[in-house]
């Protein structure tokens, strides 16, 4: 039996179990361990696990694991939680800090009232207005890799009844996010790694969004990189003015801002809440 200390955190409803290597010197995270910890019935329960460890050239390094034990992609809400934890635990002394994740340098800023800004890199790839075969129909979609690969779909482009052109969805509350999201996530078009899927309703000034995340294999209450991808797509397609506000499933508002330099997107930021839910220990 081994005892480990953890901090349960939430980034606008996207929840994580954070382990600090300083407090858990003998901790080694395996996919089996991560899956046990994230199990909401037999473990602590979370969308993912974050490991904060020492770095030679940075104040800290963040390693993120999805709840299925996979790793390698960026988690923006996890990054904001990591910044908040390291600020509160005095690991970082200033409110603006660089850190390492997946051997890539990122930065963030801690604001007041449990709000944290995370600065992302320019998107690796974007694609507009292509068709995806799902839910018995061809659905118009866009793609943006904001650190993780994301499909973005406006719910008005999805038919409730595939053979009825006037049956378009107009309410995100009753949209079948998990059913259609999982079908697209496992589509051969995105094999073998799969894709995250975001459904948006841009009718109002604040864009409503719901997201299906690979690695969690379910809808989450918020997806940071998905919100950023959706903001970039909406900016180009709908000419939205910056900054762009999103209402996540959790009920929290997150804000995306960036600068356009020709065809390049630069200085991308995601601002939203991050908080500690509780501290505890687990014996495995």
Q: Which residues are catalytic?
A: 75, 223
Q: Under a CB-based contact definition with an 8 Å cutoff, are residues 108 and 91 in contact?
A: no
Closest CA to 118 of 157, 76, 155: 76
Q: In the chain, where does DSSP find H-type helix?
A: 31-38, 76-88, 177-185, 224-238
Handedness of CA 197, 201, 205, 206 (dihedral sign): negative
Residues 6+ apart with CB under 8 A from 203: 170
CB count within 10 Å of CB 154 equals 24
Q: Which residues pair with 168 in a beta bridge?
A: 159
Q: Which residues neighbour 93 within 8 Å (Cβ) at sequence distance 6 or greater?
A: none
User: What φ, ψ does residue 2 adopt, rounded to 5°?
Assistant: -125, 140
Rg (CA), the chain: 19
Sign of CA dihedral 64, 65, 71, 76: negative
Q: What 3-state DSSP class applies to 60?
A: coil
Q: Partners of 262 in the beta sheet?
A: none
Q: What is the β-pairing status of strands 14-20 and 3-11?
A: antiparallel
Please state, in angstroms and rounded to a whole number, the distance separating the CA atoms of residues 98 and 119: 10
């Amino acid at each position: 039996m081994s005892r480990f200390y953890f901090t349960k955190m939430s980034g606008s409803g996207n929840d994580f179990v954070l382990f600090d290597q300083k407090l858990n010197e003998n901790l080694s995270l395996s996919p089996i361990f991560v899956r046990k910890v994230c199990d909401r019935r037999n473990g602590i329960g979370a969308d993912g696990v974050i490991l904060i460890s020492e770095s030679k050239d940075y104040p800290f390094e963040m390693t993120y694991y999805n709840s299925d034990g996979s790793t390698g992609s960026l988690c923006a809400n996890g990054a904001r939680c990591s910044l908040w934890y390291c600020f509160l635990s005095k690991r970082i002394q200033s409110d603006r800090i660089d850190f390492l994740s997946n051997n890539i340098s990122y930065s963030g800023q801690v604001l007041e009232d449990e709000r944290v800004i995370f600065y992302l890199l320019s998107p690796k790839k974007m694609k507009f207005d292509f068709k995806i075969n799902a839910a018995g129909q061809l659905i118009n979609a866009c793609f943006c890799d904001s650190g993780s690969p994301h499909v973005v779909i406006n719910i008005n482009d999805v038919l409730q009844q595939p053979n009825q052109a006037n049956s378009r969805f107009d309410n995100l509350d009753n949209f079948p996010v998990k059913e259609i999201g999982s079908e697209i996530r496992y589509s051969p078009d995105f094999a073998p790694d799969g894709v995250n899927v975001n459904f948006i309703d841009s009718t109002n000034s604040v864009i409503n969004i719901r997201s299906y995340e690979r690695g969690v294999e379910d809808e989450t209450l918020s997806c940071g990189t998905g919100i950023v991808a959706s903001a970039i797509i909406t900016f180009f397609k709908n000419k939205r003015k910056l900054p762009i506000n999103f209402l996540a499933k959790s009920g929290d508002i997150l804000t995306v801002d960036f600068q356009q330099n020709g065809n390049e997107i630069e200085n991308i930021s995601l601002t939203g809440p991050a908080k500690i839910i509780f501290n505890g220990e687990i014996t495995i």
